[in-house]
Structures are given as C-alpha cells and as structure tokens.
Chain A
Amino acid sequence: MQGLSSIGSQLIDLCSALLLLTCFAIVAQRRLSACVDLFALQSAVLFVTAALVAYLTKSHHIYIAAGLTGVIKVIVIPRVLKKVIDHLNVKRELVMHVNVPTGLLICGGLVMLAFFIAQPIIPLGPLLTRDSLAIALAIVLIGLFTMIARQQAVSQLVGFLVLENGLFLGATAATYGMPLVVELGVFFDVLIATLIAGIYTNRLQDAFNSVDTDQLTILKE
C-alpha cells in the first residue's frame, strides 16, 4: 500500500508537471488552432490526473468529474473552438501585448510566485497531491496572464479555459474534488461560457472584420 501510494504520488506529480508544461506551450504558441490543440492535450492530461486521484483515493464521484472533463474539455469545447476559428480571417496572433520570450519569462516568475505563496499551506494538504496545489495556482495565474497578453478573442477564451483547468486541478488536489453538484455546475458554466464566447466571437468577426478585442474600446461613447 505504501509503495502504491508513493508511486501514485509520483505519477500525479508527473501529470501536474505535464499540465504546467502545456501551459507554457500555449503561452509560446501563436497559431490559434495549435493553441486549441494544446488545450485539448492539457485537458486530456487533466482527465488522467483526475482519474488517478479517483483510483488512488477510491472516491467515485471524481470519476464522474474526470469523465466530464474527458467529454467536455477534450472533445466538445475544442471542436466548438475549431469551428469558430474556421470562420475567422486571421488565424494567428499578429500583435501581442507581451511578446513570447517576455511572456515565458513572466510565466516563470508566476510559477515561482505560486510556489512561494503555496509554501505555508503545502504541508497541510493531503499527502498524495501535495505539490499539485502550487502547480494549480500557477496554472490559474498563467491562464489569467494569457487572457491579458493575447488580443484575439479565441486565445483569450483559451486562457480562460486554462484558468478553469487550474481551478479544477486545485480542487482535486487540495480537497479531492468539490461536491459533485458544484462540479457539475462548474462544467455546465464552462460549456455555456464557451458557447457564448464562440457566438460572440463570430459576431465580432462579422461586425469588425477582426476579433481583436482592443477594438471594443470604440464602443465607448
């Protein structure tokens, strides 16, 4: 049992590290469709992580959450986003508020910050998923940062979804999952948010012939 648990903990750490790595990849990637693919990959890793936690802690409701991650975040949402991208005329981030090397450096700083902040609470967490909490926080911060750094509505949406993945990891890691009702609610929210943002992006494309959200400032009086 001890052995299994330690291997499990190692595996979860590995998965968390992979999640973080995909985050960096998303920050470095300019092509929109590639960003979506990377998000799907990240969600797949998250699915594995959640399933592992569910298996190791024998809490069955996490299986459901993991399954939902698999269906919604790996299949449905990427497909919706791909459809949106097909509709666009600009399929790359042309101008970014923060260029890629600086962005990567900032993200590195954010990871350090996350570990620094999580330091005092890490020993209090469950044995199995100790380091995941700091990584979850780092993913949340990076997701938020992506939303700020990017100009295209689609990549902002990806940033939002990454942020949500971070929250999910945090919830699974820190407390072995939120109550199922909350989990279901969150999934529903994310799905709806994606759909709405997708429609909104299409409308934006039609109205401005671009999905650069900076253009929204001209709506001001």
Chain B
Amino acid sequence: MLNLLWILLGGYGAGILLPLCLPGRPASQRLTTSVAAIVATSAGVVLGLLGLTASEPVTGSLVSTIPLLTLEIRLDSLAAFFVFMISAVGLATSIYAVGYLRHSEKRASTAALGALFNGFLLCMTLVILADNAYFFLLAWELMSLLSYFLVVTEHEKAEVRYAGLFYLVMTHLGTAFIVTAFLIFFQNAGSFSFEAFRHPEHPLSEGMRTLVFLLALLGFGTKAGIVPLHVWLPYAHPVAPSHVSAVMSGVMIKTAIYGLIRVYFDFFGGQFPWWWGFTVLFLGAVSALLGVMYALMEHDLKRLLAFHSVENIGIILLGVGAGMIFQSYGLKELAALGLLAGLYHTINHAMFKALLFLGAGSLLYATQTRNMEEYGGLLRRMPWTGFFFLIGAVSISALPPTNGFVSEWLVFQTLFLSFQIPTVFLKLMLPIAAAILALTGVLALACFAKAFGIAFLAQPRSSHARHAEEVPVSMRIGQGILATLCVALGIAPIVVVPLLDQAVAPLTGRSIASKILAIDGWALAPGNVEFSSLSTPVLALLLVVSAMLGLGLAVALGGRLTIRRSKSWGCGITLTPRMEYTATGFVQPIKRVFSTIYQPTVKLETEFLIESRYFAKRRYFEFHIEPIFEKYLYDPLVAFLGTLADRLKVIQAGGLHLYLTYIFVTLIALLLLAV
C-alpha cells in the first residue's frame, strides 16, 4: 500500500511541477496536469478501497527539521473512506478539466491553474492522512490557501476578488478555532502526535473538553458551512472554475466532517454528554432547512448549488448528531447506524454535488452565463449534459433508485429509532428533526424541478441558449463517471454498507453491517425487519417494470410509439420564450409561504403610455430576499471591529519615536517585573 501512496504523491508532485516547466504550450500543459492528476487519483481510489478493507491501519512517519513537526501519516479505515471519496471526485474532475480548461485558456494561465488544482487535491489528501496535529494544520492551511488562489482565478472581476477575500477571512477564522482546539490537546498531551491526543496520560478536564468541543465545532463548522457560518459558500463556490467548485463543494467541505468525527469519536473516544450531540443535531437541522430555502430563491445555478451544499452538510450532521446522542446514552449500535448514515450521505453528496457542479460548468461552457433565466430548451441541444444533470438532480432530491435516497432513508431511520432514548426531551426532538428533514427533502425536490425544468425544458430564453452546443467528450466522461457512481451507490447499498461499517466500527466499537443487512442479504433493515426495511435493487426493478408496464399499457390501449411534431396550441397566438414560466415565477408560492424567513422586498413600477393610463408601456419588476445572517450578524460584527480599530488608531499615530517609546517602556516594565 505504501507503493500506492508513493504513486499518489509522485502523481500530484508531477502535476504541480510539470505544467510549470512547459511555458507557452497550453495544450501540453493541460494534458500533463490532467494525466498526472488522473494517475494520482486512480492510485488514491485503489488506496482508499484497500485501506477500507485492511484489518490494520497503515502508518508511516518522516522526521523533519522543523521542531515539533513530524510528518506522521496514518491510513485507518475512516481516513481510507475519505481518501477514496476525494480521489474518486478528483478523478472525474481531472478528466472533465481536460475539456473545461480550454474554455478558460484566455482568462487564466493553464499551467498555474493545473498546478494549483493538483496541489489542492494533494493537500486535501494529506489533511486526511495526517496523524500529527502540526502536519494536519499545515496541510489544512495549504488547502485553504490553494483553494483561495483557485477561487480568484478570474481576479480581474471585482466580484471575484470580493468573494475571495470573504472566503479567505472566513476560512482563517475557522482555522484559528481549530488551532486553539489542537493547542489545548497539545498542552495536555505534550506532543502534537494524534496518538498522544487519543491516549493522553491525564484526561482533559471537563471544562476543557467542552471548550474543545465548541472550538472544533466552530472551526470545522466554518469550513463545512454550518448555518450561520455558511455565508462564504454562496460567494466562493460560484466564482471558482467549475471543476474546482465541484471539488470544493463536493469534497473540501467534507474534510471538516472528517475533522469533527476524528475529534469527537476518535480523540474523545466517543465519551461526551448528550447535549454535544444535540447541538450538532440542532445545527444540522437548521442548516438543512435554511440551506435549501435559500437555494430555492437563487437563479444563479452555481449559487443555488452552493446553498444546497449547506443543506446537505446539515443532513450529514443530522446523522452524525443523532449518532452522538445515541453514543452518549450507550446505545452503541444506533450510534454506529447514525454515523454510518452520515458517512453514507457524505460520499453520496460528494458524488452528486460534484456531478451537478460539473453540469453547471458544462452549461456555463456552452452558454457563457450562470443565470438560469437565460437557459431553456437545452435538453435538445445538450442531451448528454441534460441526462447527467437529471441523474444528479434526482439524487440530490433523494428519489429512488439513486444514492441520495438511500442515505436520507438511513438518516430517517436513525431519527425514528430515537424511541430507545430514555429522555423524553430527546424522544420529542429527534422526530422533529426528522420532520424538518422531510420538509427539506420536499423543498430540494421543488428546487431541482425548477433548476432542471427552467434550464433544460421549453424553448431557449436567450440567444446564448439558442446557440449552445454539446460539450467535448472529456467533459462528458467526467460527468458520466460521477453519474454512474450515483446510481451504483444507490442500487448497491448492500455492498456499500459493509464497507462503511469498516470505517465506523473502530469509532463506536460495534460492527453493525450484519445486523443492518436483512437475512437474505438483499435488503437493509436498520431497526428490525418488521419496523422497516428497504431493498433498493428490488425498488429499482419495480420502477423499471412499472415504467415498462405503463408504456406497454399505453401501447396496448392504442397509443402510438412514433413521435409527432407539431406546434403547441396557444389560443391562436404564437408562443414565444417570454411567455414561459420563469424561475422567479416558479418559486413564487414558496416565497409567499415562507415570507417571514425570506423577508422579500418586491418593487414593481409601471410606465404608462402618455396618451392613456390604461395602457402600460413598460413594467419593471425587482425582488430581493434579505440576507438575514449578513445583515444582522456579520454587518454589526464588522462595524464593531471597525469602531474598535478606530479607537486603536489613537495609539497608532504613525510616529517612529512613539513606537520606539512603546518598545522601550515595555522592555523596562518587563525587566522590572522579572526582578
């Protein structure tokens, strides 16, 4: 396995260096970066699968010349799971990038973009592999910085620079919390090694443990995009090149989930009070609901997807949080189930979100715009992209037979099994979380009915859409891989669950794969078979059979199988794209229902003909929803920091002598203190 690791490191290394050594030849640069990344990610996929099935964690270490820093790595089953996920998404996006980069050739240096992309994937893998807090933080910080550079690829635009700055500030805020949490561990353990964190000589005091819990939640939560720390996602993800958005949204934010599980279940050994799990569950529920609600109101396809990342991180945290609650009540098997559901959704989200971002990238490639209102009728022009996007949309809406359905079903089951908890409060709360999850699912379905319908169906709404063409083969292959994985993960949970169980079992101490898989091995039954069970292959078969049956019946009852082309009847007038349902119109009812949350401002102005006020010449319609968190949380915070800085300006007068005097006085004071 170490050989594979070397291939992986070598591949990424080549991907970073080679394109920079080929100046002025963008075609060969593009090829080398992608080939190197494909080699490295393929090695990563195999490494992940081998690591998941291995009985013992693989470890290795390299002493560095920097004090306290040892390059320790450890590939246990949890890490292997994440390595597999990163590499699989990385593989698909690198293939996709071959075609996609051609589109951005004039706007950005292909070599720099390729090198940064390889470095980004490498750092993410190292974050997962690191078994030393110092090394982890180094990789984490590099990952954040490289992704920042990728976000600001099109830095000529003010919008992109603002998004980049926003991301940089938020991610460093998060890192500060993580550093503090790790320093507390370090203080106690006397070493940066994760092994020492796991088994310290003296356990941390109760207060310190709580502090670490909160710091880790805030720190990793910022990266994951938990409400209200999610504000950077809808800025940063849309402006990055699409294959980068796919990786950032699909897997980078998952490294935070990895961090949370690592700290709570591994370092703390799963020993924590119930309210930790409840806090995670609560934040998960809020993120899931608000994420999807804001996504509904977006007409920028990539921003919409970014908000959906907030939603799905929420769903993952519902699983993890429920698992934590069960764990604190000693219900080990249910804890394992919750964690498994969370991890299952983690990999599912990685697949379908990356797929959807690649789809959005293809649309951007073909039409040069991210605004949904300018799409329309693209299914006929881009059938492959449309088909793959549909699979992604079905997955994210949690419909069978795709993967989103299975993992959300497992999260539901976990939440329903809360009747085994002895506390009434939690018995009440977990079903409420399940209800919120149900609402989330419905809204996600509405959102993707909108996204797919507006973008791909009806007539083109702009000349961009009218002249769109299908994307190059490499981009289609990239999407195809992810689409296949989406369906595969959905149809074969009986294969996936035992693998995930390998990752979960060391954390909770229970292996539950044999219990979840019902006796005949073709169905999942988390509680017991009478309570609920699900067999996705049968379900998929049913769907196919019923579709065939419907078709057969239609034919039998006199339907025709030939395609008839004629104009839609429009009451005698010619139909134009302007008469189509718009994205804004589609979500109008939902906006009305939830107006308390959206706080929409609608502006409608009518310009009349001079001759008569009965005839409107032109109407202006404008509508915004209030960015609540930015307005009520971040703006006051920034304003407060601004005033604080103004106050501090008094002592920063700019005089050299004044600064020297500060140093002098401090020196004297410290010397006197020391005596």
Using CB atoms and an 8 Å cutoff, list the residues of chain A in contact with chain B.
Answer: 97, 113, 116-117, 119-120, 141, 144-145, 147-148, 151, 156, 213-214, 216-217, 219-220
Contact with A along B621-658 (1 / 0, CB 8 A): 00000000000000000000000000000000111110
Bound Cα distance from A151 to B657, whole angstroms: 8
Q: Which chain A residues lie closer than 8 Å to B672 at the CB level?
A: 113, 117
Chain A nearest CB, measured from B663 CB (Å): 7
Whether A117 and B655, one on each chain, are in contact in the complex, defined by CB atoms closer than 8 angstroms, is no
Q: Shortest Cβ distance from B281 into chain A, in angstroms?
A: 49
Query: Given the known A-B contacts A97-B657, A220-B654, are A144 and B664 also in contact in the complex, defined by CB atoms under 8 Å?
Result: yes
User: In the complex the two chains form, is A117's CB within 8 Å of B674's CB?
Assistant: yes
Contact across chains for A214 and B655 when beta carbons are under 8 A apart: yes
User: At the interface, yes or no: B63 with Cβ under 8 Å from chain A?
Assistant: no
Say yes or no: B671 contacts A214, CB within 8 Å: no
In whole angstroms, what is the CA distance A117 to B670 when docked?
11
In Å, the complex CA distance between A97 and B657 comes to: 9
A117 CA to B656 CA, complexed, in Å:
27
B673 to chain A, nearest CB (A): 10
Q: CB distance B655 to A116 under 8 Å?
A: no
Contacts of B656 in A (CB 8 A): 156, 213-214, 216
Contact A216 B675 (CB under 8 A): no
Q: How far is the CB of B368 from chain A (nearest CB, A)?
A: 40
| A148→B660 contact, CB < 8 A | yes
A219 to B654, CA, bound (A): 8
Query: Would you call B654 and A216 a contact (CB within 8 A)?
Result: yes
B664 contacts A120, C-beta separation under 8 Å: no
Taking a contact as CB atoms under 8 Å apart, the answer to whether B660 and A147 are in contact is yes
- Whole-angstrom distance from the CB of B652 to the nearest CB of chain A? 9
A74–B654 Cα distance when bound, in Å, is 33
A216 cross-chain contacts in B, Cβ below 8 A:
654-656
* Minimum distance in angstroms from A12 CB to a CB of chain B: 23
Question: In the complex, which residues of chain A have a beta carbon less than 8 angstroms from the beta carbon of B655?
Answer: 214, 216-217
* Distance to closest chain A CB from B648 (angstroms): 14
B603-624 to A contact mask, C-beta < 8 Å, 1/0: 0000000000000000000000
Nearest B residue to A149, CB-CB: B657
- Complex: how many Å from CA A97 to CA B658? 11
Chain B: minimal CB distance from A136 (Å): 13
Interface residue B545 (Cβ < 8 Å from any Cβ of A): no
Residues of B within 8 A of A214 (CB): 655-657
Check if B66 is an interface residue, CB within 8 A of chain A.
no
- Complex: chain B residue closest to A156, CB-CB: B656
> Is the pair B667, A144 in contact by a Cβ cutoff of 8 Å?
yes
> Does B588 count as interface, using CB distance less than 8 angstroms?
no
Report B205-233 CB contacts with A as 1/0, cut-off 8 Å. Answer: 00000000000000000000000000000
CB distance from A38 to the nearest CB of B (A): 21
Say yes or no: is B661 at the interface (Cβ < 8 Å to chain A). Answer: yes
Between-chain CB contacts (< 8 Å), 18 pairs: A97-B657, A113-B668, A113-B671, A113-B672, A117-B671, A117-B672, A117-B674, A117-B675, A120-B675, A141-B667, A144-B660, A148-B657, A214-B655, A216-B655, A216-B656, A217-B655, A219-B654, A220-B654
Q: A113-B671, A144-B667, A151-B657 are in contact. List 14 more A-B contacts (CB 8 A).
A: A97-B657, A117-B671, A117-B672, A117-B675, A144-B660, A144-B664, A145-B664, A147-B657, A147-B660, A148-B661, A148-B664, A216-B654, A219-B654, A220-B654
How many angstroms from the CA of A141 to the CA of B664 in the assembled complex? 8
Cβ–Cβ < 8 Å partners of A156 in chain B: 656
A117 to B661, CA, bound (A): 20
List residues 326-357 of chain B with CB under 8 A from any CB of chain A: none
**Contact between A213 and B675, CB atoms less than 8 A apart:** no
**Option from B657, B661, B663, B667 in Cβ contact (under 8 Å) with A213:** B657
- With most chain A CB atoms within 10 A of its CB, the pick from B657, B663, B675 is B657
A71 to chain B, nearest CB (A): 29
Q: Which chain B residue shows the least CB distance to A137?
A: B671
- Min CB gap B43→A, angstroms: 42
From A144, which residue of chain B is reached at the shortest CB distance?
A: B664
Q: Whole-angstrom distance between the alpha carbons of A144 and B668 in the complex?
A: 11
Whole-angstrom CA separation of A151 from B656 in the bound complex: 9
- B667 / chain A contacts, CB cutoff of 8 Å: 141, 144
Given that A113-B668, A117-B672, A144-B667 are known contacts, is A217 also in contact with B660, CB under 8 Å in the complex?
Answer: no
With most chain B CB atoms within 10 A of its CB, the pick from A116, A144, A148, A220 is A148
- Top 4 A-B pairs, shortest CB-CB distance: A220-B654, A217-B654, A213-B656, A148-B660
CB of A10, distance to nearest CB on chain B (Å): 28
**Which residues of the other chain, A, contact B671 by a CB distance below 8 angstroms?**
113, 117
Closest to A151 in B: B657
Task: State A144–B671 Cα separation when bound (angstroms).
Answer: 14
CA distance A41 to B443 in the complex (A): 83
Contact B657 A144 (CB under 8 A): no
Find chain B residues with CB under 8 A from A213 CB: 656-657
Selected contact of A217 from candidates B653, B664, B668, B675, CB within 8 Å: B653
Contact with B675, one of A116, A145, A148, A220 (Cβ below 8 angstroms): A116
Chain A residue with Cβ nearest B663:
A144
CA distance A97 to B667 in the complex (A): 20
Question: Which chain A residues lie closer than 8 Å to B661 at the CB level?
Answer: 148
Smallest CB-CB separation from A140: which chain B residue?
B667
**In the complex, chain B residues whose CB is within 8 Å of the CB of A145:** 664
Most buried by A among B653, B660, B663, B674: B660
Write the nearest CB–CB distance from A78 to chain B, whole angstroms. Answer: 23
Q: In the complex, A116→B673 CA distance in Å? A: 12
CA distance A111 to B549 in the complex (A): 102
Q: How far is the CB of B524 from chain A (nearest CB, A)?
A: 65
- The answer for the CA separation of A148 and B654 in the assembled complex, in Å, is 14
* A141 contact set on B, CB distance < 8 A: 664, 667-668
Most buried by A among B656, B668, B674: B656
Complex contacts, A117 vs chain B, CB 8 Å: 671-672, 674-675
| Closest chain B CB from A187 CB (angstroms) | 23
Q: Give 1 or 0 for each of B188-208: 1 = CB within 8 Å of chain A CB.
A: 000000000000000000000
- Name A216's closest neighbour in chain B (CB-CB): B656
State A116–B671 Cα separation when bound (angstroms): 10
Chain A proximity of B653: nearest CB distance (Å): 7
CB distance from A206 to the nearest CB of B (A): 18
Chain B nearest Cβ from A220, distance in angstroms: 4
CB distance from B509 to the nearest CB of A (A): 52
Interchain CA distance A90-B668 in the complex, whole Å: 33
CA distance A120 to B655 in the complex (A): 36
List the B side residues contacting A144 at CB < 8 Å.
660, 663-664, 667
Bound-state CA distance A141–B671 (Å) is 11
- Tell me the minimal C-beta distance from A149 to chain B in angstroms: 8
Give Cα A220–Cα B655 distance, bound, in whole angstroms. Answer: 9
Distance in angstroms from B374 CB to nearest chain A CB is 43
CA distance A151 to B653 in the complex (A): 16
The distance in angstroms between the C-alpha atoms of A67 and B167, with both chains bound, is: 54
Nearest chain B residue, comparing its CB with the CB of A119: B675
Contacts of B664 in A (CB 8 A): 141, 144-145, 148
Q: Which residue of A lies closest to B660 (CB)?
A: A148
Once the chains are docked, how many angstroms separate the CA of A148 from the CA of B663?
10
Rounded to whole Å, the gap between the CB of B668 and the closest CB of chain A is 7
For B675, the chain A residues whose CB sits under 8 A away are 116-117, 119-120
A1–B528 Cα distance when bound, in Å, is 94
Please name the residue on chain B nearest to A220 by beta carbon.
Answer: B654
Nearest Cβ in chain A — how far from B656, in angstroms? 5
A145 to B, closest residue via Cβ: B664
- By beta carbon, the residue of chain A nearest B664 is A144
* In the bound complex, CA of A216 to CA of B663 (Å): 18
**Residues of chain A with a CB closer than 8 A to B654's CB:** 216-217, 219-220
Across-interface contacts of B663 in A (CB, < 8 A):
144
Q: Bound complex: CA of A219 vs CA of B656, how far in Å?
A: 12
Question: What residues on B are CB-neighbors of A219 within 8 Å?
Answer: 654
Within 8 Å CB of B668, what residues of A? 113, 141
